[in-house]
Amino acid sequence: MNLLPSVVTLGLCCLLSSLSVSGSEENGSIRPFVLDAIKEAKHVVDDSYLYSRQKSLERVRRDDFIKPSDILRLMKQPKRKAREAVRAADYLEQTLRIISEKSHHAHKRSINATGLLTEEELHTIEKLTGCAAQTLPPPCRTIPDLNKYRTASSVCNNHVNPLRGASNTAFTRWLRPTYEDSISQPQGWNPGRRYNSFVLPLVREVSNRIFSTQDRNVVGDSQYTFFITFFGQWNDHDLSFTPMSPSIRSFSNGINCDDSCERSEPCFPIQIPKDDPRLPSNSKSCLPVFRSAPACGSGNGAYMFGGVPRVREQINTLTSFLDAGQLYGSEDGLARELRDLSNDGGLMRVNDRFRDNGRELLPFTKVVSRMCATRNRILNTTSLEEVPCFIAGDERVDENIALTSLHTLFLREHNRIARALRRLNPHWTSEQLYQESRKIVGAFHQIIVFRDYLPHIVGTDAMRKQLGKYPGYNPNVDPTISNVFATAAYRFAHATIQPLIFRLDENFQENRQFPSVPLHTAFFTPWRIVFEGGIDPQIRGLISRPAKLNKQDAILVNAVRERLFAFTSKIAQDLGSLNLQRGRDHGQPGYNAWRRFCGLSTPRNVNELASVLNNTVLASKLLQLYGSPDNIDLWAGGIAEPFVTGGRVGPVFSCIIATQFQKIRQGDRLWWENSGVFTPAQRASLSKVSLSRIVCDNTGISRVPKNAFLYSPNQANFLPCRSILGVDLSAWKETVTGSEENGSIRPFILDAIKEAKQVVDDSYLYSRQKSLERVRRDDFIKPSDILRLMKQPKRKAREAVRAADYLEQTLRIISEKSLHAHKRSINATALLTQGELDTIKKLTGCAAQTLPPLCRILPDLNKYRTASSVCNNQLNPLRGASNIAFARWLPAAYEDNISQPQGWNQGKLYNGVVLPLVREVSNRIFSTQDQNVVGDSQYTFFITFFGQWNDHDLSFTPVSPSIRSFSNGISCDDSCERSEPCFPIQIPSGDPRLPSNSKSCLPVFRSAPACGSGNGAYMFGGVPRVREQINTLTSFLDVGQLYGSEDGLAQELRDLSNDGGLMRVNDRFRDNGRELLPFTKVVSKICATRNRILNTTGLEEVPCFIAGDARVDENIALTSLHTLFLREHNRIARALRRLNPHWTSEQLYQETRKIIIVFRDYLPHIVGTEAARRQLGSYPGYNPNVDPTISNVFATAAYRFAHATLQPLIFRLDENFQDNRQFPSVPLQTAFFTPWRVVFE
């Protein structure tokens, strides 16, 4: 008999028996069991992370196949600071879980871990898990140029609330979330639970019955081009990215989320419904889905941050500002990585291998994977060269070649501006060139979004009421991206996606050499840009072909509903299901709750719903699924509403989107119209920017529409580029003129912290090794690995995630050990003194994560944005910055009211019914056959991918870096059990594609938590806070997806080899002489999809690209956008250098980056005229009281609207805007992580 467990148990019981449940102190020290819990939690998390990383890398480095769930998970992995924040939240949550479980074991009843801990112990847990650091506002006074330039993370945009709107912070809530346990458990977690007397439908069933569209049924939008779709995506990638949990296995039981349909944090699989048209429906069949990573201080960890439960919040790894973060990055590290630091030109780094007809391409990512090595597989060849994924400010740059083209366009624009600024100001430093270029590009982004885009989306009424004349900056306005915006409303454009990515020749006819491609063959296919004509064919397709028209009987094309991130149709992800599942993961309140929030009627029965939808058949189908209108998932109800006047969304999405952008603008201290950001002469010049001019300046296209979003059949209203006004940069010409002591902390606290760190670090290491192992395999990379790796927190975001995990795991360990001693659950924070709580926060890193930066030390703070957007608000330096939690506009709806997603506990009822499986909802509501896709008659496909591009500027919520459960070590990929961070999507019975059984699910990892949210929230103020997720991007439209949202990445993305202020470009390939994105240095096979997609064996593969957002390789349309904006940066930088030859590289870089940010052209087409008029009209002026932080709802719902605008194809057109014969349009699923399509096609 092994006596050690008994001895340990006895010792712990003896220790805890001397303490009251409320947590009396012993000489002010941290009791050993707390530190033991932290240590154990960190070990659990780190082991899960390590396992997950190893598994993911193993998968995405295989040559044969990458699972769509791997692609999704890898794309949604938290990276850098976001990963740190997610890890800290996981540490904290797992610490509390461990403490609770052990106290339950000891006391034979449930005891909240925080109830066992003293205030000091809570602070120790917070500190040692890293959550304290994640939620500490930065010292804005230390940030140079805080009033001149945005930080990459948008930290200190608001000087009073420095983290407001910053990347790697939690989404905000506008309504309280509706988690199944009121804390963090998603609705639908417990099968059979009733809501309003009805069980929620499976999300896949909703997708099948409501969203399904055949390609033949697609109707083009008669008013808008495809550009509006991808611009929406581009813009979405500026605002929100919610990473999944880095762990692919359950923290609590170790099940692998990819191999099990069990719900166990972070596994939240999509169950396959009965008779699914594609997927087998049994208990072992599901689509793996991982929960979005929680934010420190939300969910169960919320007890650390205030003493009362807070619902789980998700991290937005992007900033909440229109700062072109998808171009520049939303963390300092990424922003630095994206910069060309090899010279002093202030340039963004470009591809060092390929060019696009002499023009720059996005650089390749350094991550070694096969995610974008899709060329041979898609083209059914074996020997063609593969390329890595591109890298940009947003991780999703490679999501499709249209988005990649936008990234490339703006990359070139930054470098163009930086070079121009250098000519104007040769005395400017590289930093000044970079910051000024970034600032200019950011202004472009803001102008285009507000002036040209939003009116067509939110409609005339919303534009008039909310988005009219700029009211000025208000530091009291919170710009944080709302959860509902990110998870529902701004995902509207998914319904505008065409089945094809159109690729046209110089005459806007189908490109014979490189014809239009099905959308599913344009996902993660950067090789299409590298080897198949660069970005010009896609850009021609975007400006001359219509977007898909969202129709109530044709919502999602098959490319995104049945072939997402897959090159076979059997295990592909389902975007409709994912949207619903993610909404439930984030605790999004239902359809009626949001209509009530917006002051709209709330239908109570089928007749009233039919009246709202103007469609009796659809209303009947929805109520057959949901039972009650209150139960309808927001995205399902919102996407089905008739358009508002002048818009392309219904009333509820128009309201949410317009409100978000209203907050973004007013809460952005560095908004282009705010006094002092630009001179009057510069503002007058900036106002002349147009997307068409950016296209002219950065591509070989010679004829363009005056407004790139307005559809003109047969190019009737196209103009020669010489007729399109440009921005005069002469206004930028400048005249040259002269340990804390731990003695009072009880040992068990330090032991718990140590154990938690070990758990988290081991999980992270295991996950990293497994992920690298997977993505470096040559045979097959699971889509869940791709998704997870894409959503991994990196650099500072990883630090923030790690701190949150440390903190959460510390609390879990303390709780579990106290449970073991007391035989009942005791809240870990109740056992801790305030000093111990502070120590936990500090030692876990969470304190540092939430400290406001010293804005006063930032150079050019009032001139340029920082990469992280820290100190954008000098009163709140972290407001809108990267690596802070998303804002919440509604309280989170977690199942446990803290962090557990709705649907976590199967069978739990909501309004009397069990939530449907998200896969069932997707199947029944979102399913769209390609033949049923209708093109948008008004908007091009560009608006979809620009929305994605923009989204990648605003939000990236990393998933937990761990692929296994912190608490039980189960692999999220190998189990369907829900165990933090595993949150698999269960497969409903009868799923048309996936088997529905207990071991069948889609691996999903929860978004990484932010320090100070979830269980860790108790560390930050003494009252519980819901789990928040980190936004690793800034909350500003700062083109972070191009430039990066961290200083380190921003520097990495810059071309520092010269003094031109340029972005780094590909050093191996060009796109018809033009720049391509640089390749990532990460060795993986994620983007080595060329031979697999092309079904060949000898073609050259390329790495993934790298950009300011990790999703740069998500598809070739997105990659094209990244490339487009990369070129635009460099174009502007070069122009600025010509204007100001005395400018330094830094000045050229900064001025170009500043110029590239856009806002005018996109949003009007999305939110509609009314929302655009009301919220997004004339710039009201900067308001430091406005919190621009990307809201959780924006990032996880609202700004995912464009999923419904995705076509099944990525259209690739020749010069005549005809399908490119050489590189035809590709199915969307073959354009995921295919940078080789950009490089070689």
288: preceding bond cis by omega (within 30 degrees) = no
Query: Could you tell me the two tokens for 1207?
Result: 């076509």
What DSSP line would sit under 720-752, residue for residue?
Answer: EGGGS----GGGG----------TTS-HHHHHH
**What is the rounded end-to-end Cα distance, in angstroms, of the chain?**
67
Q: Which of 447, 239, 443 is nearest to 330 (CA)?
A: 239
Where on the phi/psi map is residue 454: left (φ > 0), alpha (ψ -120 to 50), or beta?
alpha
Q: Within a 10 A sphere around the Cβ of 357, how many other Cβ atoms? A: 16
What is d(CA 1078, CA 1069) in angstroms, rounded to the nearest whole number?
A: 9
Report whether 1102 contacts 1067 (CB < 8 A): no
Residues 6 or more apart whose Cβ sits within 8 Å of residue 562: 278, 569, 572, 574, 927, 993
Alpha-carbon 271 to chain mean position? 24
d(CA 958, CA 77): 4
User: Strand pairing of 150-151 and 865-866?
Assistant: parallel
Q: Left if phi > 0, otherwise alpha if psi is -120 to 50, otherwise beta: which for 823? A: left
Residue closest to 451 by CA, chosen among 665, 189, 745, 755: 665
With contact defined as beta carbons under 8 Å apart, do 1029 and 170 qualify? yes
Q: What ranges in 76-227 are assigned the alpha helix state H?
A: 80-107, 119-129, 131-134, 203-206
Q: Residue 188, CB half-sphere, CA atoms under 13 Å: how many?
A: 40
Structure token pair of residue 131: 């959550």
> Would you state the structure tokens that stand for residue 608, as one six-digit string?
């009233």
Neighbours of 739 (CB within 10 A): 5
Per the annotation, binding residues are 494
Which token pair is 451?
A: 């002036």
Contact status, residue 153 vs residue 1173, Cβ threshold 8 Å:
no
Cα dihedral sign, 468-473-477-478: positive
Catalytic residue among 43, 104, 105, 237: 237
Q: At what angle do helices 606-613 and 616-626 cross, to 10 degrees?
A: 130
Q: Are 869 and 880 contacting, i.e. CB atoms less than 8 angstroms apart?
A: yes
Query: Binding-site residues for heme b, please?
Result: 494
Q: In angstroms, what CA-CA distances link 934 with 210, 212, 402, 496?
A: 15, 12, 18, 8
CB half-sphere exposure, 1168, CA atoms < 13 A? 27
Amino acid making up residue 586: H
Q: Are 916 and 926 in contact (CB under 8 A)?
A: no
Q: Is the dihedral of CA 529, 534, 538, 539 positive or negative?
A: positive
Answer yes or no: 237 catalytic. Answer: yes
> What does residue 664 show for φ and ψ, rounded to 5 degrees?
-60, -45
Please, what is the Cα angle at 1195 between 1190 and 1201, to 5 degrees? 135
- Residue type for position 363: P
Tokens representing residue 77 in the block: 């992995």
Query: CA of 741: how far to CAs of 39, 779, 843, 1075, in Å?
Result: 19, 52, 11, 53
SS3 1035: coil
- Would you name the residues annotated as active-site residues? 237
